[in-house]
Structure 1
Amino acid sequence: MTTSSPTRLLVLSAGMSTPSSTRMLADQLAGAARRRLEAEGRTVEVRTVELREIAHEILDLMLTRFPGERMGQVLAELRAADAVIAVTPIFNTAASGLFKSFLDAVDPDLWKDLPVMLGATAGTARHSLALEYAIRPIFAYLRAEVVPTAVFAASSDFGAAEAGEGADAPLSARADRAAAELARLLGDRAPAPQAAPAVQAPGLDAEFADFVPMGQLLGR
């Protein structure tokens, strides 16, 4: 019996402490995305990476261009991911240095056409626009496909349950909206075209099994 491959979500949390509000938001966004995708009949695999745990290897990669063992694993997971949830604290009206260093260290081509959900945390809501003017443009430059709703959480957002709309909606509602957009983006992605099978000419050795006749190459 043939089964579909699981949807692989890579969650990147740039929180600086343990526990951190950044990790709390990352977990909430990952949970919302998992529930939405599983409701559509998908099997979901979630892998969460705390960037603080590989901070030295991020710096080493920037300086030497050679990834360490743990950084190499994260890069492999990024290559294999169907979507990324990236969450950073806001420092001085921008993403944290750890978060930006990770983006600077990684090959930009890994982000091309990759669906990304963005999240950020700060002490007060006055930092919320940093997601739009400081962080979203980075992923636009990297040619990622960022969902329209970026989720910001101030300290007061955690545990809030009041009804609202837009930026005033409770955190869970904003997370669900972003998750729905991510699921829609994943659902709209067309499968990669499969190459036409090669025609094996009779009498050729196995090393020439992928031989393609000239007439087929010319489209005849």
Structure 2
Amino acid sequence: MTGTADTVIRVLLVDDQELVRSGLRRVLRRRDGFVVVDECGDGADVPAALAEHEVDVVVMDLRMKHVDGIEATHRLRRTGEHPPVLALTTFDDDQLLAGALRAGAAGYVLKDAPAEDLIRAVRAVAAGDGWLDAAVTARVLATYRQAASDRAGPPPELLTPREHDVLRAIGRGLTNAEIAAALVISEVTVKSHIGRIFVKLGLRDRAAAIVYAFDHGIVSPG
């Protein structure tokens, strides 16, 4: 999903502040390839909204009064197939953001990030990529790593040289399209490599792949 003139990215907004949702609506405009199909004021309302609408990305606030974004993301993950979640928060809180990744969020973006970053993040997550806000990624990954039960994992030597290249690119935060351009291969081939990497290394998702890449020296902070 790329958000072209012929295709829109369908977004569910979840935030307990109407003012925030209004601001998000102004950023995620139809003319830029987005349509906000519904809004929720609490994480408890997300399943009903997903049952009623086709959704490509859930933009989820983490701090809400009743069911917060982390618990709501946990619940979605337990249901099986669900749209990817992009966590959104004003709080530069490592534990909170790492908790969102552990819950199954495809990435996170801070509310004070530029509008262009939010647009890129939603597009990346809709396309099956991850998005980690560069401002706090290194610290959040350290917190995520400390809580990971499988932080050692199988050795990177299980990967082919090309899979190693793809994993390094994931660790650097590149999207599938950017990896394809950098390695001069198709996005379909990139996705195939990523699938094999996940299987060989026992990784759950892209966030876990990034942590693995940092842990094993495939990429370095900064």
TM over 0.5: no
Structure holding more strand per residue: 1
The structure, 1 or 2, with the larger RCO (C-alpha pairs under 8 Å, 6+ apart) is: 1
TM-score by length of 1: 0.43
| Higher Rg | 1
